[in-house]
């Protein structure tokens, strides 16, 4: 088997030694003296993702999540990587999967191909579905993306009637009701999703959102915390949890989650807002500490004193 030295890799991929070492330190690829063709393919994918400013932490977390839901050894080589915001999705066995949210996404780039080659089947490890339920789910997603909300609702309802445990359909239908301000129905659907799939991160996050909207902050905080327990680097959950703690008048836990958000996503308007909240809370906390000190306490004398003789 052909192998390449580190110098060969740097030359072929046009990357610096510092970049390669950074990827190794981030756990994106193991450090090794020589590389195979497969390693080159993985490194090329990493280079493209980093050029698109996808954070190294997000890449690593998406890879780990995909390993967990699919059983893959190396998702960067065994599946096609697709950027979705600050996270990654993976095309695998005819479906596009968001591994962190454990959700099937509608893949417009493959829609025409899917229509020409027969129904699209999801990856085996996520859950085997009846073909009719899966086809209706994809049709509902497409109707939703095209703006036909009523048709999407009808199709998701059909999916739920035929397969009540189809968690992704519960989530998408719940979100449609949420945007229609039908919060009670949205909560019901989100809770059903958490019951049929207790590891479905998005279900807890969306449940937190609707409970927050209903001003049931303690329940919302519990839902966001569950989402973070399942996916510790879920930036949106940290952000919303920080907001909920602020509304509860609990600045210290809010500060922790603002700081956690910044570590995961440090660019853009949401990161700027988080930094502003961190600065404000630190100022307030500093003032509070100063105010609690009701008198000046001078430092005590040293245990040893200098005696001149």
Residues 58, 103, single domain; the answer is yes
Residues 3, 59, single domain; the answer is no
**Cα–Cα distance measured from residue 91 to residue 290, given in angstroms and rounded to the nearest whole number:** 55
In this predicted model, what pLDDT tens digit does every residue of 210-268 receive, in sequence order? Answer: 999 999 999 999 999 998 998 887 888 899 999 999 999 999 999 999 999 888 777 77
Residues 138, 203, single domain; the answer is yes
- In this prediction, residue 5 carries a pLDDT of 84
Percentage of residues in the chain having pLDDT higher than 70: 79
Q: What is the mean pLDDT of residues 263-278?
A: 82
Domain final residue, candidates 216, 242, 271: 216
- In this prediction, residue 245 carries a pLDDT of 95
How many domains does one find in the chain? 4
pTM: 0.60
- In this prediction, residue 118 carries a pLDDT of 34
Asked whether residue 308 is domain-assigned, the answer is no
Structure tokens at 233: 């680097």
- In this prediction, residue 165 carries a pLDDT of 83
Domain final residue, candidates 190, 216, 242: 216
- In this prediction, residue 6 carries a pLDDT of 85
Domain final residue, candidates 102, 126, 150: 126
Asked whether residue 104 is domain-assigned, the answer is yes
pLDDT band at 100 (very low <50, low <70, confident <90, very high): confident
Q: What is the mean pLDDT of residues 141-163?
A: 84
Q: What is the mean pLDDT of residues 269-290?
A: 77
Asked whether residue 298 is domain-assigned, the answer is no
Q: What is the mean pLDDT of residues 43-62?
A: 80
Residues 30, 70, single domain; the answer is no
Residues 162, 106, single domain; the answer is no
Residues 136, 193, single domain; the answer is yes
- In this prediction, residue 258 carries a pLDDT of 93
Asked whether residue 227 is domain-assigned, the answer is no
- In this prediction, residue 259 carries a pLDDT of 92
Residue 128: pLDDT over 60: no
Domain with 66, as residue range(s), is 53-126
Residues 178, 104, single domain; the answer is no
Percentage of residues in the chain having pLDDT higher than 90: 23
Mean pLDDT of the chain: 77
Residues 120, 138, single domain; the answer is no
Asked whether residue 297 is domain-assigned, the answer is no
Asked whether residue 306 is domain-assigned, the answer is no
In this predicted model, what pLDDT tens digit does every residue of 27-41 receive, in sequence order? Answer: 778 888 888 877 877
In this predicted model, what pLDDT tens digit does every residue of 157-188 receive, in sequence order? Answer: 998 888 888 887 888 899 899 989 999 999 99
C-alpha pair distances (Å), 88 with each of 124, 158, 283, 287: 19, 30, 36, 42
Where residue 170 sits, what CATH number does that domain have?
1.25.40.10
Residues 132, 174, single domain; the answer is yes
Residues 254, 194, single domain; the answer is no
Asked whether residue 304 is domain-assigned, the answer is no
DSSP result, the chain = ---EEHHHHHHHHT--HHHHHHHHHTTSS---SEE-HHHHHHHHHHHHHHHTT--HHHHHHHHHHHHHHH--S-HHHHSEEEEETTEEEEEETTEEEETTTTEEE--GGGHHHHHHH------TTT----HHHHHHHHHHHHHHHTT-HHHHHHHHHHHHHH-TT-HHHHHHHHHHHHHTT-HHHHHHHHHHHHHH-TT-HHHHHHHHHHHHHTT-HHHHHHHHHHHHHH-TT-HHHHHHHHHHHHHTT-HHHHHHHHHHHHHH--SSHHHHHHHHHHHHHHHHHHHHHHHH--S--PPPPPSS-----
- In this prediction, residue 188 carries a pLDDT of 95
Residue 281: pLDDT over 50: yes
Asked whether residue 307 is domain-assigned, the answer is no
């Amino acid at each position: 088997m052909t192998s390449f030295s580190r110098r060969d890799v740097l030359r072929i991929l046009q990357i610096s030694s510092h970049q390669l070492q950074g990827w190794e330190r981030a756990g994106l690829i193991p450090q090794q003296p020589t590389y195979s063709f497969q390693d080159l393919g993985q490194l090329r994918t990493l280079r493209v993702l980093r050029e698109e400013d996808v954070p190294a932490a997000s890449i690593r977390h998406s890879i780990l999540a995909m390993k967990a839901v699919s059983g893959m050894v190396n998702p960067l080589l065994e599946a096609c990587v697709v950027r979705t915001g600050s996270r990654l999705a993976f095309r695998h066995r005819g479906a596009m999967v968001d591994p962190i949210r454990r959700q099937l996404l509608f893949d417009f780039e493959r829609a025409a191909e899917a229509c020409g080659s027969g129904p699209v089947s999801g990856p085996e490890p996520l859950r085997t579905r009846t073909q009719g339920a899966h086809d209706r789910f994809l049709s509902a997603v497409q109707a939703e993306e095209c703006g036909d909300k009523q048709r999407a609702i009808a199709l998701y309802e059909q999916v739920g009637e035929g397969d009540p445990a189809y968690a992704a359909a519960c989530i998408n239908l719940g979100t449609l009701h949420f945007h229609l301000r039908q919060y009670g129905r949205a909560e019901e659907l989100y809770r059903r999703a958490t019951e049929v799939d207790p590891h479905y991160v998005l279900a807890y996050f969306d449940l937190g959102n609707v409970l927050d909207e209903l001003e049931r902050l303690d329940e919302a905080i519990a839902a966001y915390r569950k989402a973070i327990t399942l996916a510790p680097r879920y930036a949106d959950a940290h952000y919303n949890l920080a907001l909920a703690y602020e509304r509860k008048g609990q600045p210290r836990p809010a500060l922790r989650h603002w700081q956690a958000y910044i570590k995961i996503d440090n660019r853009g308007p949401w990161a700027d807002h988080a930094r502003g909240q961190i600065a404000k809370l630190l100022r307030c906390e500093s003032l509070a500490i100063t105010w609690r000190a009701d008198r000046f306490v001078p430092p005590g004398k040293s245990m040893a004193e200098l005696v001149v003789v």
